[in-house]
Structure 1
Amino acid sequence: MTPPARAQAAIELLDQIVAAAEGGGAAADTLIGRYFATRRYAGSKDRRVVRELVYRAIRRCGERPASGRAALLAVAGDDAELGAAFDGSGHGPAPIAAQERGAEPGLAPAWLLDLLRASGLGQDELPALVDRAPLDLRVNRLRAEPDEIAAQLAGAEAIAALPDALRLPAGTDVAALAGLAEVQDAGSQAVTLASVAQPGQHVVDLCAGGGGKTLALAAMMGSQGAILACDTDRGRLQRLPPRAERAGVTIVETRLLNPGRELEALGEWRDGADCVLIDAPCSGTGTWRRNPEARWRLTPARLERLVATQAHLLAVAAELVRPGGTLVHVVCSLLDAEGRGQVQDFLSAHPGWTADRPKLGFGRPHGLGLRLTPAYDRTDGFFVARLKRPC
């Protein structure tokens, strides 16, 4: 592909991504994969260059742009070589008109920036929210040791305060490590430690998804005890059993829940869990480094629905925790409505419960929990709180 053809491909993909963000369609990575699946003529270098152009444009535009062309023009304004690709030749984009302007650069939609600032994010911390994320691994101690895995990977670095974590150079191929290690952001590993899960305990992962935190819990427990991994998404939950088998985990039971009626399927676990972990559905404002187009998907109405879902899940979890047990609330969000505020509301509605702020070696106190940010912790953004039921 010529440089103009690559620019045109990026525009076409950006058009799809903008439309999907507005209409709730597929994620950018999925759309990019589909696009090249039908364009076999594009070599690996072409795919890499086009992908980089697409993500440069997404990161550049805080507000959802009017079109893919407007998004790429925002990048071309600072890149003369890319600007020259708008030459109208062959399969390239039309020349840039005299008065044509690209989308306005920014960090996020204005309403979200206001909420982030109101939630205590300093102006100096905002740019890091859309930086590129590193590649982190969690070594599965049920089957391997961190030193053993690090020796197999050029450039691997240990991450302080996380004994099982390694940070790798971007693009490192880790496919051969299936079962021995899991790709998992250091922040995600850290907040899971807030559960303080121990061998022999009974633990519920209430929003398990594909099971990243479930497997981390199992390793903490030495695969001794019982973990109930739940979710309302059948497709995501079905990915957990084969992952658990590869990881040598034998203590996990999966259970599909009916949204809004979760307790109907959890009767035998009422008052019986040593710990319930809620990795709650959230705005994902802490994961923009990995999913920058998520800034264009969130709306005030969707945020309101997510906050309501989180409050509901906290109430469900409270029914499962045994007297003296703990509930861990996690969101990959930096908005107080989903973190600090949720904890305050929960404690107001559940007399006798108390907050026990985790000590993780990551994050800073925020409300009654901890907040991790990309700028301060070099992780995804998280809020985590540990709540204790009275005996």
Structure 2
Amino acid sequence: MTPGGRLAAAIEVFADIETRHRPAAEALKDYGLAHRFAGSKDRAAVASYVFDALRHRASSAWLMSAETPRAILLGSLSRARGLDAEAIAAMCSGEQHAPEALTEAEQASLVAQDFSSAAPSVLGDFPAWLEPSFLAVFPDTLAAEMQAMAARAPLDIRVNTLRGTQAKAMTALAHLDPEKTTYAPNALRLPLGADGRGPALSGEPSFIKGLVEVQDEGSQIAALLAAAKPGEQVLDICAGGGGKTLALAAAMDNKGQIYAADTEGRRLMGLYPRLGKSGARNVQLRAPRRGVPPLDDLKGKCDLVLVDAPCTGTGTWRRNPDAKWRVRPGALEQRVKEQDEVLAQAAGYVKAGGRLVYVTCSLLIEENEARVRHFLATHAEFALRPPQALAEGAGLPALAAFADPTNTGIRLSPLRTGTDGFFIAEVVRAG
């Protein structure tokens, strides 16, 4: 396929996403099945164009003064890739399946690059209805924060210390040029290729044998701040795929017990094969029965309960750019309700003197500080552990600099910490 042909295909896929309101991955898969002539490099290029357009949807539409799939894809070539009007015009010849030639209006828009009156939601490429919420979090740096969120995410991996050391992993992956990250001591970052994609790890012996796991540094930090200790009884009540469960198991050096639970059994399915290769022997999976995990035997007995709460996922938009255009106000309201419910449920498993660590991959105050404060207001037996003590207790004192203004928890973001967006807070039950 020619560059123009790939661009035309991306416009087609983007139109499918917009029309049918479906995840980008599904639309791209269907495109590949319906266009067998497209090779793997062609499909990767089409996907890259599509995800660039999703990351920069609002600013691309503003630039082109239109919200059509064509306009958004053309605008994203400028916004995401820095192509000038001449380079974009060269891709739009109308020949060999390329898009039709640029109109005079399109050419003028690409040359003008006028964002002087654009709203923060346009400059930051996020839904306009969330602007008040994001301004409350980033009153002085909103555009920069959200532009960082619109950038391509790096590929981070966690070295599984049950299988080896960071030095061993760096040697095994030397051909991929791994680099140490800033905060998590067992994290490595692999550079992206020219196409914006990270290297495939599925064939790497170190991945197959469980020495490394794919996990954003922010997620690793959240597990480290939970500070699970060898010999403790730990409940991961929203375990999902188990990334943090496995990190906790490694931190505990297989001593003590971790119970991985979730209200939906299908979310736990991916954890079974990961456990097998991880070397973790202190993990029990508690699959739900009729939507309720069997946890009655853990009431009031856990040293640590980790609540990796369901949320809007606003902190993961650089990895899931299509998700930010699907989230609706009703979803935020529903997530807040679910967060309050799971926190109230989790409290019952914490023993006297035990800890509850609350984590979201959201940037919003409504899902973070507000939920912790609501929990404390309704559970007098718990007290907040200040973020500075949380960071220092985990051996990561530098993270105290990222405490929220109310000193409730620690907020990570691509601009501040070079990670996905996360919020981590801890409350302690009276002894």
Normalised to the residue count of structure 1, the TM-score between the two structures is 0.91
Q: Which amino acid aligns with 1:113?
A: E
- Mapped partners of 2:89, 2:425: distance in 1: 48
Cα deviation digits, residues 1-52 of structure 1 (max 9, x gap): 12222111101111222245x4xx3x32343234224433212332232222
Q: Which amino acid aligns with 1:118?
A: A
User: How many residues are paired up?
Assistant: 385
Structure 1 pair 343–17 and aligned structure 2 pair: CA distance change class (3 A): same
Distance 1:28 1:210 in 2: 21
Q: Secondary structure at the match of 1:15?
A: helix
Question: Sequence identity, in percent?
Answer: 41
- Residue 277 of structure 1 and its aligned partner are, at CA, apart by 0.6
Q: Specify the alignment match of 1:387 in structure 2.
A: 427
Partner of 1:13: 13
Task: Determine the structure 2 residue equivalent to 1:112.
Answer: 130
Of 155, 174, 196, the match for 2:227: 196
- In the other structure, the counterpart of 1:211 is 242
- C-alpha deviation, 1:187, in angstroms: 0.7
Go from structure 1 to structure 2 and tell me whether the alpha carbon gap of 1:232 and 1:41 turns closer, same or farther (over 3 Å shift): same
CA distance in 2: counterparts of 1:341 and 1:288, whole angstroms:
22
Quote how far apart the aligned CAs of 1:157 are.
1.4
Do 2:160 and 2:211's aligned partners in 1 also have CA atoms closer than 8 Å?
Answer: yes
Alpha-carbon distance, 1:347 to partner: 0.3
Q: Provide Cα deviations, 1:299-323, integer angstroms capped at 9, x if missing partner.
A: 1111110111011110010011111
SS at match of 2:423: strand
Higher relative contact order (CA 8 A, sep 6+): 1
Q: Which amino acid aligns with 2:315?
A: G
Higher alpha-carbon deviation: 68-77 or 205-214: 68-77
Specify the alignment match of 2:275 in structure 1.
Answer: 244
The answer to whether structure 1 residue 365 and structure 2 residue 371 are counterparts is no
Q: Is the 8 A contact 2:156 2:214 kept in 1?
A: yes
Note if contact 1:156-1:167 (Cα within 8 Å) is conserved in structure 2.
yes
Structure 2 partner of 1:273: 302
1:169 aligned partner, one-letter code: P
Match of residue 255 from structure 2: 224
Residues 162/305 of structure 1: CA separation in 2 closer, same or farther (3 Å cut): same
| C-alpha spacing 1:140/1:298, structure 2 compared with 1 (3 Å) | same
Q: Which moved more, 1:332-341 or 1:284-293?
A: 284-293
Contact 2:60 2:75 in 1 (8 A): no
CA contact (8 A) 2:314 2:421 kept: yes
Unaligned runs of 5+ residues in structure 2 are 62-66, 111-117, 193-197
Residue from 57, 74, 78 that aligns with 1:61? 57
Q: Distance in 1 between matches of 2:234 and 2:60?
A: 41
2:36 paired residue number: 40
Give distance in 2, aligned partners of 1:160 and 1:94.
Answer: 46
The residue type equivalent to 2:73 in the other structure is L
- For structure 1, the residue ranges without an aligned partner over 5 or more in a row are none
Do structure 1's residue 145 and structure 2's residue 173 form an aligned pair? Answer: no
Q: How far apart are the structure 2 equivalents of 1:81 and 1:144?
A: 48
Find the counterpart in structure 1 of residue 64 from structure 2.
none
> What's the CA shift for 1:327?
0.6
Which residue in 1 is equivalent to 2:89? 83
Any idea what SS the aligned residue of 2:286 has?
A: strand
Aligned residue in 2 for 1:129: 149
Three-state SS of the structure 2 residue aligned to 1:62 is helix
Deviations 1:158-197 (A, max 9, x none): 2233221111112233222131110101110001112110
Contact 1:63–1:296 (8 Å) recurs in 2:
no
Where does residue 168 of structure 1 map in the other structure?
190
One-letter identity of the residue aligned with 1:364: F
Separation in structure 1 between the aligned mates of residue 263 and residue 72 of structure 2, nearest angstrom? 36
Partner deviation per Cα, 1:327-347 (whole Å, 9 max, x = no partner):
110011110000011111000
The residue aligned with 1:342 is: 371
- In structure 2, give the amino acid aligned to 1:126: M
**What is the alpha-carbon distance in structure 2 between the residues aligned to residue 75 and residue 333 of structure 1?**
25
Indicate the structure with greater helix content: 2
The 3-state SS of whatever aligns with 2:226 is: coil
Q: Match for 2:170: what amino acid? A: A
Amino acid at match of 1:109: P
In the alignment, is the contact (CA less than 8 A) between 2:384 and 2:428 conserved in 1?
yes
C-alpha separation between the residues in 1 aligned to 2:334 and 2:223?
25
For 1:120, give the aligned amino acid: F
After superposition, the Cα gap between the structure-2 partners of 1:320 and 1:62, relative to the gap in structure 1 and judged at 3 Å, is farther
User: 1: distance between equivalents of 2:369 and 2:228?
Assistant: 23
Partner SS, residue 353 of structure 2: strand
Alignment of 1:279-290 (within 5 A): 279-290=308-319
So what's the TM-score if we normalise by structure 2? 0.83
Residue type of the alignment partner of 1:86: C
- For residues 254-279 of structure 1, the C-alpha deviation after alignment (integer angstroms, 9 at most, x for no partner) is 223368x64x7321111111111111
Pick one of 345, 353, 356 that aligns with 1:324: 353
Q: Is the 8 A contact 1:76 1:83 kept in 2?
A: no
Q: Does 1:4 align with 2:4?
A: yes
Determine if contact 2:230/2:253 at 8 Å carries over to the other structure.
yes
Q: Residues of 1 paired with 2:17 and 2:286: CA distance?
A: 33
1:295, distance to aligned residue in structure 2 (A): 1.4
Change (3 A) 1:258 1:92: farther
SS at match of 2:427: strand
| Deviations, residues 45-71 of structure 1 (Å, cap 9, x unaligned) | 322322221122112113897442232
